[in-house]
Structure 1
Amino acid sequence: MSEAGVIHDIGYQRYEGPRLGRGAVLGALYVHGLRAAFGFGRSAKSKIFPWGVAGIILLVAVINAGVRSQTGTWLFDYFQIDNNMSLLVIFFAAIVAPELVSRDLRAGVLPLYFSRPLRAADYVTAKVAALVTALWLLLGVPQFIMFLTGAFTSKTGMKGVWHELGLLIPGWGYSLLWALVFASISLLIASFTGKRAFAAGGIVAFVLMTVPVVGVLSLLPSQTAHHLAGLASPISLINGIEFWLRDVQDPGLDIGDLGPIYGIEAVCLIAVCLLLLLARYRKVASL
């Protein structure tokens, strides 16, 4: 019996197609993340929560639009719908962020990702962009429904449509602020554990535990401390920026003349969270 080896041709061929590079990988990660945020490509059970939240906010927007079509006035405007739906936004971010990053940690696929022409910055960019887009759509689509009602029930023709558009665009900007703040916070917290339940609980706990701090600080006798109390919570931080930019007074949150400080902290908060997230994945990529 011969001991010589035999080479079998089983049809393997070299890949001769286009090499798309980092940009295509980043785009694929972004699209996959956005689809995962709303449960596409996953089981029906995975779609219940994101679409349930989206359905509730859409229903509120439709009711609001119906009231305006009948009475001519809103129950709440483009900014207030974001404020009123804040808890749903928090829970949505708390559920979706672990789906985007914690699953990768638990499955151990990050070394595979980073063995390709993909940098840690690309991974972070794709995940942040996917969650920001998902959160913005969660709020922006209901705002657009409100806009359609206002535009088509206007009695001043195109002038009324342009006026309504001038109200919608700042509202979309406010929704983007909500998306940026909570996407950056949620992804940073979720990036430290592969267990989705722990990540979701940590995100909700962090946000909700800061709310009482605002109440305690607002009771201090110092007027400056009272004005700065809103900086202690992401929710009141965003509300403070709205009050500053719209020149609105609210007895529940008095920011005085310190509105610019709220804007500066929001920028710094987002930047610090993203830098820490990048540092976290650079460490993972180097392992």
Structure 2
Amino acid sequence: MTSEGAVFDLGYEQYRGPRLSDRQVFWRMVIDGLKKSVGIGKRARNKAFPFSLVALAILPALGVVVIQVVAKIFGLPLSGDVLLDDREYFDWTSQLIFFFVAVAVPNLLIPDRVENVLLVYTSRPPTINTYLVARLVAMAISVGVFLMIPQLVLLIGEALISPSFFGHLADNLAFWWRVPLTSFAYLAVNVGVAALVAAYINNRGAAIAIYIIGVNVLNGVGIGLSSINEYFSLLSIQFWPTRIRDWVFGVNTLDDFPGADLPIVAVLATTIAFLTLAVALILRRYRKLI
């Protein structure tokens, strides 16, 4: 052995670039999450599915509005019921976001965990809570666009064919709390279930399949058992946001569903209890990884 040593210059230099604040890092993670949720930065085939669903959500509303505007310009007779109202359109978009969330949430959560980059995200300054909140905000924005943009198209379209554009907007002020509240219900339930599955499953294909099959199985079980007792209908996960929507809009579109007359308090309590449990389990899972 020798006491002599040698120092080798490997060319490493101290980072001298801009250092981001906590807020800047958070929003960078949100933007990164938005890109991942719709496949930006990946192959074209990864973008095809989410963008197709977005188009399917928006184009029908746009088409109905165009027909109404053209009919008004040329004085063509059209039934006043041609335009779907904001409540009815949720029947369409809620089906689309079910499949959008099924793919987007696993793409958002699983790769970071499988590729062992969580430690990079949470080294400094973000914490695991910051990371998860950023991912949640990214999904909320994505699903919010899904649900809100078509509704805005319908609202503006109805205003365009009404005698007074601004008068129509003023007469529909309830839109600005009914639609966001209903959108939040669909967003919270779908993202909550998908995130819980994606937090514990490391294979994206398996997570997608478990989410889709699991929700549909629970829907079937809830409908089947509700003939015994209507409270079994609470096992049907997709029933929760639909029942909340009807409550918000003051209607009942679930006449043929055994749980249609369940107290809204029971539905809200079940939804909140599930989301609370989902958040706790997701946090527990991720804190064990760090």
User: Residue 85 of structure 1 aligns to a residue in which SS?
Assistant: helix
Query: 2:178·2:248 contact (CA, 8 Å) conserved in 1?
Result: no
How far, CA to CA, are the matches of 1:269 and 1:134 in structure 2? Answer: 22
User: Is residue 244–residue 260 contact of structure 1 (8 Å, CA) maintained in 2?
Assistant: no
The equivalent of 2:145 in structure 1 is 137
CA–CA distance in structure 2, aligned partners of residues 257 and 68 of structure 1: 38
**1:57–1:142 Cα contact (<8 Å) kept:** yes
Q: What is the Cα deviation at residue 17 of structure 1?
A: 5.0
The answer as to 2:289 corresponding to 1:281 is no
Corresponding residue for residue 256 of structure 2:
252
Counterpart of 1:163, as a letter, is D
Q: Which amino acid aligns with 1:80?
A: E
Query: Does the Cα contact within 8 Å between 1:214 and 1:232 map onto a contact in 2?
Result: yes
Tell me, in whole angstroms, the C-alpha distance in 1 between the residues paired with 2:128 and 2:192. 15
Cα deviations by residue, 1:108-162 (Å, 9 ceiling, x for unpaired): 2122223232211111111111112111111111111111101111113422122
1:198 aligns with 2:206: yes
Per-residue CA shift, 1:35-57, capped at 9, x if unaligned?
Answer: 21122222211110000111111
Residue 125 of structure 2 corresponds to 117
**Residues 152 and 161 of structure 1 are in contact (CA less than 8 Å); yes or no, is this contact kept in structure 2?**
no
Please report how far the alpha carbon of residue 215 of structure 1 lies from its aligned counterpart in structure 2 after TM superposition.
1.6
| C-alpha distance in 1 between matches for 2:286 and 2:214 | 21
Show the 5 A alignment for 1:1-287: 5=6, 7-8=8-9, 10=11, 12-17=12-17, 19-66=19-66, 69=69, 70-220=78-228, 225-226=229-230, 228-249=231-252, 250-253=254-257, 254-256=259-261, 258-285=263-290
After superposing the two structures, state which structure 1 stretch, 159-168 or 203-212, moved more: 159-168
Separation in structure 1 between the aligned mates of residue 274 and residue 5 of structure 2, nearest angstrom: 67
Q: Which amino acid aligns with 1:133?
A: I
TM-align CA RMSD: 2.3
Letter in 2 for 1:193: I
Q: Distance in 2 between matches of 1:161 and 1:281?
A: 45
Which deviates more from structure 2 when the two are superposed, residues 95-104 or residues 268-277?
268-277
CA deviation after TM superposition for structure 1 residue 5, in Å: 4.1
For residue 188 of structure 1, report the CA deviation from its aligned partner. Answer: 1.4
Matched to 1:251, the amino acid is D
1:62 CA displacement: 2.0
Q: Percent identity?
A: 24
Paired AA for residue 199 in structure 1 = A
CA distance in 2, matches of 1:278, 1:23: 21
Q: How many residues align?
A: 277
For residues 116 and 166 of structure 1, what CA distance do their matches in structure 2 show? Answer: 44
Question: 1:4/1:241 Cα in 2 relative to 1: closer, same or farther (>3 Å)?
Answer: closer
Relative to 1, partners in 2 of residues 1:9 and 1:34: Cα closer, same or farther, differing over 3 Å? closer
What TM-score results when the alignment is normalised by the length of structure 1? 0.87
CA distance in 2 between counterparts of 1:97 and 1:217 reads 30
C-alpha separation between the residues in 1 aligned to 2:10 and 2:261? 78
